[in-house]
Amino acid sequence: MPQFNWLILLLSALIPLIVGFLWYNPKTFLSIWMESIGKTQDSMQAPNMVKVYLITFIMGFLAAISIQFIVIHQWHYYSILANEVGINDATSPIGLKMKEFMDQYGHNFRTFKHGAFHGTLTGIFLITPIITINALFEGRGFKYIAVNAGYWIVTIALMGGLICAYT
């Protein structure tokens, strides 16, 4: 069975904060994003940033746990067999088959590049539609969608790469 690498999941939970710092920076996309929501820096109320960073980290951690099931294909093999009797017993027939499979194929497609590829696809085909649907009902325009979707595509690509390569 694939294992959780809690350290890598915790490190990848920092990626939304790091990318957000760079993405929503005055030198990058902050002014475009602010214009898209009809605000200026002067009109924005400063939120409790400790609370924002803490919740962002927690949500990033939850996202990291989910992303590993997307970018690590070996989880799919395990999920197919998860309800088989003896799956968690390494000496059972199914446990032995699982070990043999993981010994032979457990490292296939376990690279940063592969994880980033699946992270990018997830950003484009899952996150972008969600952001777009919400934005349409909020009356937001293309710039809002592009800035936020771009942020999440890059963020999930980096998270997926890190998780796939080191978990």
Residue 46's pLDDT is 81
User: Looking at residue 16, what is its pLDDT?
Assistant: 98
pLDDT at residue 2, rounded to an integer: 74
Same domain, 55 and 117: yes
Domain identity same for 11 and 33: yes
On whether both 30 and 96 belong to a single domain, the answer is no
d(CA 152, CA 87): 36
* pTM, rounded to two decimals: 0.93
Say whether 157 sits in a helix, a strand or coil.
Answer: helix
Q: How high is the pLDDT of residue 88?
A: 86
- The answer to whether residues 163 and 116 touch, using CB atoms and an 8 Å cutoff, is no
Look at residue 37 and tell me if it is in a domain: yes
Q: Report the distance separating Cα 113 and Cα 130, nearest Å.
A: 25
Q: How many domains does the chain have?
A: 2
Q: Is the pLDDT of residue 49 over 80?
A: yes
Task: Kindly state whether residues 14 and 55 are assigned to the same domain.
Answer: yes
Residue type, 44: M
Query: Do 92 and 17 fall within a single domain?
Result: no
Look at residue 114 and tell me if it is in a domain. yes
User: Are 22 and 91 in the same domain?
Assistant: no
Residues 91 and 12 in one domain: no
- Given a cut of 90, is residue 3 above it in pLDDT? no
Structural domain for 93, as ranges: 80-108
- What gap in Å lies between CA 1 and CA 73, rounded to an integer? 11
Whether residue 1 lies inside any domain: the answer is no
Residues 102 and 29 reside in one and the same domain: no
40 and 60 housed in the same domain: yes
The predicted pLDDT at position 92 comes to 95
138, part of any domain: yes
pLDDT in tens, 138-147: 999 999 999 9
pLDDT tens-digit readout, 5-27: 999 999 999 999 999 999 999 99
Q: What is the mean pLDDT of residues 96-109?
A: 93
Residues 84 and 119 in one domain: no
Residues 39, 65, single domain; the answer is: yes
Cβ neighbours of residue 39 under 8 Å, at least 6 residues apart?
Answer: none
* 58 & 93 share domain: no
Span 47-55, average pLDDT? 94
Q: Is residue 26 part of a domain?
A: yes
How many other C-beta atoms can be found within 10 angstroms of the C-beta atom of residue 162?
24
In 3D space, the residue among 94, 60, 52 whose CA is nearest the CA of residue 77 turns out to be 94
| Residue in this structure with the two tokens 């902050």, named with its chain if needed | 30
Q: Please tell me the predicted confidence (pLDDT) of residue 164.
A: 97
Confidence tier at 42 by pLDDT (50, 70, 90): confident
